Amino acid sequence: MKNAEPKSPVSFVANVARLPQKGLPVAIEADERQRAALAAEHGLLSVENYRAELVVAPWKRNGVKVSGRVEADITQACIVTLESVAAHIEEPVEALFLPEQSKLGREGFEGGGEIILDAEGPDSPETFSGDTIDVGALAEQFFGLAIDPYPRKPGASLDASGDSQPEESEFQQKLRSLLGKS
């Protein structure tokens, strides 16, 4: 079942069975092949650099907290002109994980407990099985969410009035000539 899941180009599987209290630092620096795969995966022209700095630490009784940041320099196609647009991504990464069999993870769903969702609050914990978590794939998710879905070159506009502007000036010129004004 685990092999059916497509692997992230920046996959980094962390063993969370015995984490140090201060956490396990993880740094992921994508090489050329990984950057090309990230670009293809996210519809980018290119990924110039990609780096994730994370800390995988114990949380509550059996849980795991992953925190840090992902940084990247990317090039996208402008949605108006299709010219290349450079962008810098700097996105915080924060996620909580609980083992599948954890009572804390099941309480809200199976125990009839109430689940309170706060749009501004932290996401509810995800579950994991075994003793590993792919923190590289997690960082890639945050990277993907930080990409501007509608990149535009400075000055490029989708404003419809820009297309009708010449027609308005032609109309104004005709009106002026009819009124005898130059």
pLDDT tens-place values along the chain, 182 residues long: 344 456 899 999 999 988 999 999 999 999 999 999 999 999 999 999 999 999 999 998 889 999 999 999 999 999 888 899 999 999 999 999 998 877 655 554 444 455 555 666 666 788 888 899 999 999 999 999 999 998 888 877 766 444 444 445 666 676 667 777 65
Whether the Cβ atoms of residue 109 and residue 127 lie closer than 8 Å to each other: no
Whether the Cβ atoms of residue 53 and residue 24 lie closer than 8 Å to each other: no
- Closest Cα partner for 65 from 152, 128, 2? 128
How many domains in the chain?
A: 1
Range of the domain at 151: 2-179
* Tokens matching residue 86: 């450079």
Contacts of 129 (CB under 8 A, 6+ apart): 99, 100
Whether the Cβ atoms of residue 134 and residue 8 lie closer than 8 Å to each other: yes
Task: State pTM to two decimals.
Answer: 0.74
Q: Which element (helix H / strand E) includes 84?
A: strand 84-99
The two beta strands, 63-77 and 84-99, are antiparallel
